[in-house]
Structure 1
Amino acid sequence: LPGAKAWIEKNILPYHPKTIIRYIAVGNEILATSDKTLIAHLLPAMKALRSALDSANATSVKVSTPHSLGILSTSEPPSAGKFRKGYDKLIFAPIFEFHKQTKSPFMVNPYPYFGFKPQTLDYALFKPNGGVFDAGTGINYTNMFDAQLDAVYTAMKRVGYEDVDLVVAETGWPSVGDPGQPGVSLENALSYNGNLIKHVDSGKGTPLMPNRTFETYIFALFNENLKESVPERNFGLFKPDLNPVYDVGILRSEQ
C-alpha cells in the first residue's frame, strides 16, 4: 500500500481532477505473459491502488486491467465462450468480485484484425455480409466485433458475473502491412475504425447485450516506429509529426 500511495501522489494527484482521469489500467494483457509472479500480484496491485485512491479522496478514478481474448479457451461460436481452464474460478472470479464491489469495468481488447480470414474480411470490417450463424443461440452475427464481445459475456455469465460492466480498452486496424499481406490497407483501417465508431455510438449493443453503448478506445492515437513489424507500427490515426494518417470523422476544421 505505501508503494501504491506514493505512485498515486506522483502520477494522479498533481493532475486530478483538473485533468479527467477515468481509469488506471494496471498492466496490459498480464495473463497473456504466463508470468506466474505477475499474475499472482495483479489483483493485490489493483486493490492497493483502489485503497490509495480512496485515501486520497480520488474516488472517481476507477481501477481495472485490460485482457486479450487469449483469456478464452473457446470463443467460437459466442455461445460457447469460456475462460481458460483453471483461470475461471482462481483468477477471474476474484477479479470480477473486485470489479463488482468497486463498480469498475472489466476491460478487454477485441481485435477482429487478428481473427479474420480473407473470406471473412467484410464480416470483420462491419461491411455487408452473410453473417456467421451461432446454432447455440440461433443468432446470425453480422460482425466479428459483436461476436467477440458476446463470447466474453458468455464466459462471464458462466462464472456468475455477467452484470459487471465491459469496456473495450483497445481495438484497431493497421493502415500499412507487409508486402502482399491480405486485408491490410488504409482503406480497410478507415472502414474498420469508422464503422466501429458508428456501431458503438448507435447504442444497439450486441445480440446478447442489447441496447448498450460500450466505452471503446481505438488503438492507437499515433503510429509507433519502434514496434517490430510493419503492421504494428501503423495502427495510428496520426503520424508522430501530428499529421493525420486518415480521418475517421474526429478531426475538426480550424476555426
Structure 2
Amino acid sequence: MIALALENLGIDVFESYGNWNNRIGVALSLIGIDNRNADIAVLEMGMSGKKEILELARMANPHIIVVLNVGTSHLENHTSLEEVAMAKVRALVVSLTENWGDLPLQVEDSDDMVVYGTLRDAANSGWNPSSEIIYKQSTSERKMMGSFKQILIVVATIAAIIHNQIQIVEAIDIGVCYGMLGDNLPPATDVVNLYKRYGIEKTRLFDPNPEALNALRGSNIGVILGMRDEDLPGNYAKNVLPVMQSLQNILDAKGLNAIKVSTVLSGKTLGSSYPPSSGAFTLEASSTLKGVLNFLSQTQSPLLINVYPYLAYASDPVNVRLDYAQFTATEPIVRDGDLSYYGWPSAGNGDFTTPQLAATYNKNFMNRITTNKGTPKRPEAHIQGFIFATFNENQKPAGVEQNFGLFYPNMEPVYPVFS
C-alpha cells in the first residue's frame, strides 16, 4: 500500500518481494536494492520471536519506520499482546536513537517530536491502545518527500490486534480474469497497481497482450496466459493437443518446466453436469479430450473449466436452488460431487443479477477456494480459482455480459469483495 501510494506520486519504488520479511528475506531484498536505481525502497519486516525486528532494523538501517497493525499470529512466542506491542516499540525506539542523525525527524519539528515522544513513552511505560495521533502533513514536508532520494522505508508487521488505525489488505490465494473488451478501460500499469492494492496475486489473460505482459513483468503477480482459438491452425479442437505439447517442449528445453501448459473447457463440453456425479463430456468432446487429459496427467497440469452457476440458476430457478448456486445452503443439496464455479453478473437480468447476489456469490466462492479443502472425492487436492472478471466491459454484448466485473472502468468497486 505504501509502495503503491508512492508510485502514484511518480516516485520510482523498490519493494520487498512477496512476504520476504524475515532475516533471509530482508537480506535478499537489501541485495536486490543494489540492482535498482530506485528513489525509495519499501521493505517489510516481520517478527515471530523477541528482538527480531530490532535485528532487522539494524540490518537495514532505515530512514523512516512505519508501524502497522499488530495481530495475534505467533503469540505463542510472547506471554501477552502487551508484550508483543512492547517488543515492537522498544525495537523501534532503539533504532530511532541509534540512527537519529539519519532520520527525517527534526528536534525543532513539533509533529516529529510528538511521534518520537509517543514511541519513547511507550517503551518506558507501556503502549496505550486508546492513544491516537492525528498527523497532518505540512506543505514543506510534502515538498521534502517529493525531492527525497534513496530513502529506505521499513514496514514493520507483527502479530496481535492492538489498534486498527491502518488497514492493510493481505494477499489472497485467488485470481481474477483480466478481460479487455472495452474502450474505456484503464492502462495495464494501473490495473497491476489495482491488483496490488487489493492483494490479488494471480490473474488470467485471455491472450498474450503485450501491454499487459509488460506491466506484469516483475510484479510478482502470477499469470495464466491464454491463446485464442482463432490463433490455432486448422481445426481448433484437433490442434489443441499438438500445440500444448509443442509449448511444453519449448518450456522444458529452456529449463522452465515449472510453467505448466493446460487448456480451458467451456461448460458446453459437458453433456451432463447435474448432479455432479453424473457429469460426462459430450461424445464430440470426448474424442478430443482423451489425449489432452493424458497429457495433463503426465505433466501434472491442472484442467481448467469455465462454469457459470448463474446461467444454470437463471435458466431453471425452479430446480436449481439459489442457495446452492451461491454457496449459502445450510444443508447438503448435492451429496455426490463437486463443481468448480466462476462468476456472477451484477446487472442485466432484473432480480437474477444484483450487486448483492454478485457480492454474495464471489465472496463465498473466494472462501471456498481459500479453505484448501479440495473436493469430496479428492479432499487433499489444491483447487485454483479465478473470478470473472476484473472490469465491466462495454464492448461485450449488451446485458449480463457487460456486468460481470468486480470494478468499473474507473477502478471503483462495483460491490465490496476484497474488503
TM-score w.r.t. the length of structure 2 is 0.44
Aligned length: 205
Correspondent of 1:100 among 297, 300, 315:
297
Measured in 2, the distance between the counterparts of 1:238 and 1:198 equals 20
Measured in 1, the distance between the counterparts of 2:266 and 2:254 equals 31
Correspondent of 2:324 among 118, 123, 132:
123
Matching of residues 209-228 of structure 1 within 5 Å: 209-228=378-397
- Letter of the 1:109 partner, please give it: N
Q: CA deviation at 1:40?
A: 1.3
Distance 1:14 1:187, change over 3 A: closer
Measured in 1, the distance between the counterparts of 2:254 and 2:216 equals 11
Matching of residues 130-141 of structure 1 within 5 Å: 131-133=332-334, 139=335
> Are residues 1:148 and 2:339 paired?
yes
Q: Which residue of 2 aligns with 1:158?
A: none
Runs of 4+ more than 4 Å apart: 10-17, 19-22
Measured in 1, the distance between the counterparts of 2:395 and 2:311 equals 20
SS across alignment from 2:352: coil
Distance 1:148 1:36, change over 3 A: farther
Q: Which residue of 2 aligns with 1:136?
A: none
TM-score w.r.t. the length of structure 1 is 0.69
Distance 1:11 1:239, change over 3 A: closer
Measured in 1, the distance between the counterparts of 2:417 and 2:361 equals 9
Measured in 2, the distance between the counterparts of 1:121 and 1:49 equals 41
Correspondent of 2:345 among 156, 174, 180:
174
Correspondent of 2:266 among 68, 72, 87:
68
Distance 1:57 1:17, change over 3 A: farther
Measured in 1, the distance between the counterparts of 2:393 and 2:246 equals 32
Distance 1:229 1:105, change over 3 A: same
Computing the radius of gyration from Cα coordinates, the structure with the larger value is 2
SS across alignment from 1:73: strand
Distance 1:78 1:36, change over 3 A: farther
Distance 1:103 1:11, change over 3 A: farther
> Are residues 1:112 and 2:309 paired?
yes
Q: CA deviation at 1:126?
A: 1.1
> Are residues 1:245 and 2:414 paired?
yes
Q: CA deviation at 1:27?
A: 3.3
- Letter of the 1:148 partner, please give it: L
Q: CA deviation at 1:216?
A: 0.3
Measured in 1, the distance between the counterparts of 2:252 and 2:262 equals 15
Measured in 2, the distance between the counterparts of 1:75 and 1:25 equals 25
> Are residues 1:38 and 2:236 paired?
yes
Report if the CA contact (8 A) 1:201-1:213 is conserved: no
Report if the CA contact (8 A) 1:118-1:182 is conserved: no
Report if the CA contact (8 A) 1:177-1:231 is conserved: yes
- Letter of the 1:71 partner, please give it: T
5+ long unaligned stretches in structure 2: 1-206
Report if the CA contact (8 A) 1:202-1:213 is conserved: no
5+ long unaligned stretches in structure 1: 1-6, 134-138, 141-145, 150-167
Report if the CA contact (8 A) 1:65-1:107 is conserved: yes
Measured in 1, the distance between the counterparts of 2:294 and 2:396 equals 35
CA RMSD between the two structures: 3.1
> Are residues 1:233 and 2:379 paired?
no
Measured in 1, the distance between the counterparts of 2:212 and 2:353 equals 38
- Letter of the 2:293 partner, please give it: F
> Are residues 1:59 and 2:257 paired?
yes
1:28-51: CA deviation from partner (whole Å, max 9, x where unpaired): 7x9xxxx97111111111112112
1:2-49: CA deviation from partner (whole Å, max 9, x where unpaired): xxxxx99x8999899845555433337x9xxxx971111111111121
What is the identity percentage for the equivalent residue pairs of Structure 1 and Structure 2?
33
Distance 1:243 1:48, change over 3 A: same
